[in-house]
Structure 1
Amino acid sequence: MGRPLVKNQADEEIKFPYQKVEALFYYLLVKKKASRNKLATLLWGEMPENKAKKNLRNALYQLKKSVGQDIISTPDRFIVKIAATEFLSLDLAKFLEKKPQAALKLYQGSFLKGFLLKNASEFNNWLLEQRNYYEQLYINHLKTEIGSCQKENKVEKAVSYLKTLIKTDTFNEKAYRELMQLYAQTDNSAKAIEVFKKLETELKKELGITPDQKTMALLQKIRDKISSELENNKQKHNFIFRKKESEKIITKLNQFIKTEKSYSFLISGEAGIGKTALIEQVIAAADLDNTLLLQTNCYQAEKNYIFKPWKDIMQQLKEEIDFEQIKLSPLWKKVIFFLFPSFLPDEEISFAKMVNFDSIKYQSVIEALLFVLSKAAEAKKIIIVFEDLHWCDKKSLLLLRNLIRENQNNNILILATSRNQCWQRIENIFADLKEAKLLKNIELKRLTLPEVKKFSRKFLPNYNFTEELFTKIHKETEGNLFFLVELLNLLMQKKDSQALTEMLTAKSKNILSSRFFSVSKEAQKILIIASICFDKFSYELLAAVSGKKELQLIAIFEELQSFNLINEVEVRNNNRIFYQFTHSKLREFIYNKQSKFKVKILHKRIAQFIENDLAKQRTQRKQYSKLIYHYSRSGDKLKYLFYLIKEAENYMYYTHEIFPITNDQKLARDNVLDLNQEKSQNYLVKIESLFTEIKNSPESNLKDMEAKYLNIKAHFLIGKGKYSQAILTLKLMLKNANSINNTKIKLNAYEQLAALGIQLEDLSLIKENAKKMNKCADILALKTKKGIAFRFLGIFNLYNKNYKKANKYFNKSLDLFRNAETITKKYTLGIASAYNYLGEVERYQGKLEKANQYYKYSINLCEQKNILSGLGIFYINSAQVYYEQSQFKLAEKQFKKSLAIYNELSTVWGYSSISYSYLSLIYLNKGQYFKAYNYLDKASSMLARFYKRYWSGIFLRAEAEISKKMKVNKEIKDVFSNKLSLNYQEYAVKAVSIFKDIGTNYELSTVKNLINN
């Protein structure tokens, strides 16, 4: 049930040689036995009979090899059957045997989810029939359990089952109605309406119809109830003193919905002043039927994790829109998929877990997200609620600012809350939005004594307040609405003014203490565990950590909800039920009351639960921040270090070689956000500090972790241009690897050192490390790594002007990458880079036409597979040939294509100086001198940041040509005189010196001709 998985008795996954062998096994498991004729027709029905039977014989042979001779029996020439059933454990068999409640736990998705065969229509028809049959059984079990839960008043379980039923049977209106009724009965009308909106959207999008009359009647009944409750309870409502603020926001919301001029709002004030409640009141009162409401929270524990609040937004957005309908560029799609892994299709998840990522400029992230949100808002206006903006990371804040600035509140409007703490940071980022009247700030103040009196009388109209009591209430709560409501709730419970008067002699925290001690001892224990979680907590987590039995825990949850200490929150795309504290102050109070020892133990228990739960997660990466949070507070420094390194690995670029080698499926999503230097350094400082603390630990994998850290540090140093420090770090990494005899770590270090040799044009560094890398690759039997080593050796010989040997190594590299390819794994970039270097061998010798044939082949390979890494360099090399052949239009086109890639990718950025230098010459020849000047200036700026002698030589050649023309053209001289002060021969001599030294014969002869002519 779900995606098929077959394991042997050693708990190792069995891999089948090809799909039809796998299909044959699944069919036999269900049917137990079948005739050979039936199996041949089922799997090879389109083939002649003799060929189909031959294929079946081979498939049976392969199947027995895969699962064991004892499992499959072929007693005669006609029958195939499952023999040793005692060795089999099938979730399907258990599902069919169990009672509904137990069977539901076994159903992990549709039968053989995601499995289909090509050219086997009979098998696929059988598969779909089975799938529908088991799904219907599952739905029937769900309905049975829903009925039982409703009879026994197990509301939470009924809600959970109904959500699951709706997810499985999308158009079951009866299930939607039952869920709406349950929410309405538990005073959660807002969620009931949200369920209706989801149904309405699904029916309209998929079937083009509206909900039926029964559903519409129920919706009206719920809305009437809301109106009645608002009318009856308005005297008690927290917002009797926020009328002005709420009316202002509602007016602007209505204008926004009507496409009139509006603005976004930032609600500020201290904790407990009523910011969230104001937003809730506004949303409940406004007519938002035709808008899409997206909500997210920012948490203190996640303030250093970039774009964390946007993950909830994007997850909600995914539920509401068809992401595939938004036409994104391949690069933008990769950015979205990396930042928000839940957008990845199921079949791509396994690849996403092991991707090594290129760097992408932060601007690309902003542009991609803005585009997605703007496109989504074209169909339906969007309102985004951001809670606790003061805990938001800077990049998320900047994205929010850019979104408001770009959209101008036309079809996306923001409602945000923030405490007064860190206010200057928020103020600085949003200052320009306020000036442009795109964002309004509403600051909520504390209640005055007269307002406290009025509020208290309306909250408890039958209570006999005295002036002395009013004064004490105001003094104790200081006009903070949260404390005021909590205090009045206590008064309502105690029914005794003397008890309240005595309580008011203490500080406000006693109000929270009284709330905590108002529930049973067992409920208090659950609250303590829950307070350890900084955001939401699931029923499963509390059950695992507390050890409580199911019925006991359900009763405790109901008690806590009845005392308004926790409430249920829906997490989209997750079958679990989640809860949170009704106010963050409650959580903080309970957490801070616990002993350090207890807190450490609970943090560790929760971390262990999350860790054990990782295997069930579609994307593990988003759990790392929670594991870091809990392990850092549990005192388990090794685990803290382990997940800190795993998180850092996600955000560090893993190879600074020009052409990173990985298979196409990884490379196709080979892009990740480039963290700013400060964030990167924060990771390194934390990791280094932890290593210092636990350096004497006997932990066996500490050396492995240290090697990973040194690898990360080396990449960071390379990114900052600190090559000498990077080399020292990599050598330390090698020393570490030698001490534990880890060949894989050594190979990675040699690879990075050889790549640095290319960057530094240090031939001995390239040669020495390429040879050592080659030996390690042989030991580990890694063909692709051996291919990279040969490429390095080819580059060494190319720079050494040994063109014959260079050609030999590049062809060896090419053969290795070709041989490493399989049906599922392609190494396009490895092959393309080999062709590119073969082109370089020809170009260095002046054989331009032959060189360009290789470049074109490299370009075609990457364009067909939509691979950007390396493509910019292939464009440049081809463009240089076109330029030397005087095909200036083609040269310009290729140079500009390279720049289009470099404007998005931040890797090997220095190569763009070549494009800028040549474009300067092209526009000079066109007579567009100011454009030529701008391109030369860009080349100069790029070389100031990224330097290689070859790049500098090309730039000097451009300067020489322009300087020479300045002598005969006054207009050129007027434009360039402030930039080019030397005689053209001086520029040319410098270029000659470089080209002669590095062995680029063609460029050398070109510049010499410039001097001689």
Structure 2
Amino acid sequence: MDSAPPAASLHVWLLGGLRVTWDGHPINAFESDKARALFCYLLLEARPIRREQLVGLFWGEQPEARARGNLSRVLSNLRDLFPACVSSDRTTVALIPPTPFWVDVHSLRAAYRAVEQTPDAPDAHAALHTALELYQGPLLAGFSLPGCPEFEEWQRIQQEHWHTLALTAWEWQTAYHRQRGEWEAALACARSVLELEPWRERAHRQLMLLLALQGEREAALHQYEQCRRILATELGVTPTAETETLRQRIADATTDDAEMALVAPQPLALPFVGRASAHRWLSACWEAARHGAGGLTLVAGEAGIGKSRLVQEALRFVAGQGVPIFSGRCFEFNRAVPYQAIHEALRPLLTDASPSADTPLWRLLQPGVGAPTPRTALFAAIAAWLPGPAVLFLDDLQWADVDTLDLLHYLVRNPGGVPRWLIGAYRPEECPPDHPLTHLAQTLNRDALLQTLTLDPLTPDAVTELTTRLFGDETRLAAYLFQESAGNPFLIGELLETLRDQAALRVTAGGWEVAGELPTDLPLSARTQDMILQRTQRLDETAQYLLHLAAAHGRPFDAALLAAAGECAASSVTATLHEWQARRLARPVPAGWDFAHDKIRAALYQSVPPPLRRLLHARLVTALEVCDPQNVSALAYHCDQAQQAASAARYLLQAGDQARLAYAHEQSVACYQRGLELTDDVTVRYALLSGLESVYDMASRREEQRTVLEELAALVTTAPFLATPRYAGEVALRQAHYAEATSDYRAAAAAAARVVALAQQADDGALLAAGYQQWGYALRRLEAPLADAAAMYARACAAAERAGAQAVLVDSLQGLANVAWQQGDYATAKAHLAQSLALCQELGDRRGEADAYNIAGLVAQREGDLAAAQAHYARALELRRAIGDRRGQGLSHNNLGSVALALDEWDAAEAAYHTAAALCRTTDDRWGLAIAEVGLAEVALARRQMESARQYAIAGLAGLEQVGATQRAAQSRRLLTRITQATAHQMEQESAGKAPPCGGDGLPQPHTLRRDGDGALPSCS
């Protein structure tokens, strides 16, 4: 880029500090720093901005009327300084500079994009080098706006953007000069990278490599030491393995330059994969054109999909046949230059067959020389000078000027009797119905003169082939790349480069390899973000605003939500959605609409400064409260992002409750914990902690459950509003359940008694019923008289029915069913279970339903129907797995083990009891663990593994005694006696040289081993 063009009225320098001139005169009469800041903001945003956004950005701390008055005053100042440049109405403000005008960052961006589009063009690199000299420091260096944190955050984001762009550009320049062997230029560019970012390790490697390739090994090793010191001082890290590998190669004096080049940080060139059928299609088009078919071939596809690469691969084949190829590219910012792409494509004709200076073609190839040429004469001259056979390829036709498209149309219609292949590539999303290319395609299609190929993303198989060819067998990386890129080759390339920057890919002697785990939240590269944002910048202001709202929503959205949040008419939103679809930014989905790829959403959201993000989220909260008030998870998220802490905590409580009732444990925990971080309101904290304790109980996360219980107990003791019998009773009920779950049944009974007393004080019928139910459970586990437990359960049922507490009624009926089957009254047990199961299904209580099936299995087993018992236990286990009830799963495995034991299926019994034991250990269920150990003792005894049987029986007996299960402990003592007797019997048989009584499988018959008087099997109710 040259210095500011003299014809421009307005010149603006932003990099390194603000400097503005108008008609060559410095502009210093800004009325305040806020006026300077507003000018820069409007200039760089280059779009209409809503007045409320500007007010929030610069005067957010002031009352609205005063803030709007200040905005009007500053705008008046800008109108005086820049006549006819400030456009405003009641809702928006925009800065429209005169034409032409010049801004340093615009020049840098244009040069950057030129190299991006033509990476091998010397002119483009020379222009980029000149433009990079404009980077004299951070954008608006030294400028700050105290009291306006939102603006300063926007300024920081802009500074980071241009800093990253300059870094990338200097790295491009380094690689370009190194590939051409221009060592001094490459060294200078590499040092420029390090001036911007001294801790950039990749740049240190580039510099080390360049020095080594010039024979300056000592200097290269000195550069390594400097890199190591900087990384240690600035970041507290050591150099990566890639840097160490390069240092070792440099230190090895026998390593030659060719070997050194192997470790150069070259870009990862993607292999050409997944395009075989498209390549064949293009080859067929060429064959048809070579034989005089004529017409135009178009390759369509979204940005980065690989159109140019596909055509280049096809043209490589054509060029191998000796056919001349003429290629040109259209540029978005050069549409004011007529025939720009044609001029670029035909430039080789100046040297191959220089036309005379008096021809129209010569005037086209030498713009600015001679008088303008009539269009027909120019078109005819180009047609005449194009040799045949030949190929003319014009890329990015969506940016073509109308003159270029007219010329292309002329060439299609006037082949001149020679075979030519006219081929173009374009992005359909940039070609609405009124686009000139759309009209041309429609015209040619009607006359059968058009062939179009639409290029789809790479398939998962193609991405797997790509990674296999680059890295070997890397299916894990292939799945990752496809998930992150949706098969877009440009995005795949950028992802690989970013992975390399983050040391997830490393160089080895054999090439590249994946190092460690792949990151789950990979940042977008600057090029990826620029590519995506370019596609959105041509939308009008309303469409862009709605697009940012949709990005902030972060999930599928619908027209009604956008209309409400954007305060737009429904018809306008519908038209906008279809425009997004045409531009391949969004697509319809069953839930409404969603972005075509999540990378689009991410790029849009990242481009919005945090203050404006908060405004977008606040608008979405307002809209959702009207359109979708039941969507509490979305409301919680948007309130949180809008920094509406109190509302966010309330919605997080509701979202956590919804997730808990759906047994989505991790999601509910995340909601409750985030809510606790946001609120000090004791009633909300109590509800959040209560929900959290319930989730920890279901998931058997006992340590975390105990901690939450302690906090709840402290809260109802210290918070005046919560210091009531009702809240104290609710906490005592949770403590009773925790004690029962950890097999401390005496503590459970004591806590349940406190619940009953507190519930009576509070006159709370539901709490009273729950207290009685929990008390009855504890008594049954303590093996108190069954009549006492039954009385508690009966009181619980009566209180629950009076209070309408159906969930407590479910548990109480199941308690009565347990008492009934233990008393041998199976009909009554079944009646209670039927009533309980019906209530569970009505309430959607899957935990209660699982418990009902478990008890039904116990009843069936006592009745001798082992098949029915096994089916009931399996159903209970299925439900408990589905809801994440790990303690309940342990009980189910114990019961399945008891059925297998009764069927003499020793392997199945052993597996079930081992699984039960593992689950009970992790859930701190000492009673269930003891039952599993007794079951394993029975299995070992049946297999005549006497020492194992004895050890398991001793462990089970100790556990049962510890939890106060006296009857079960007595059974275990009798089991130990049987084991002792069987051991003695076995020793007698062995000393006599006789084999023990065995079944067909060589194992002892069970009836000879199980004679304890009551026939009890180790199972759980």
* TM-score normalised over the length of structure 1: 0.41
Higher relative contact order (CA closer than 8 Å, sequence separation 6+): 1
Which structure: larger Rg? 2
* TM-score normalised over the length of structure 2: 0.40
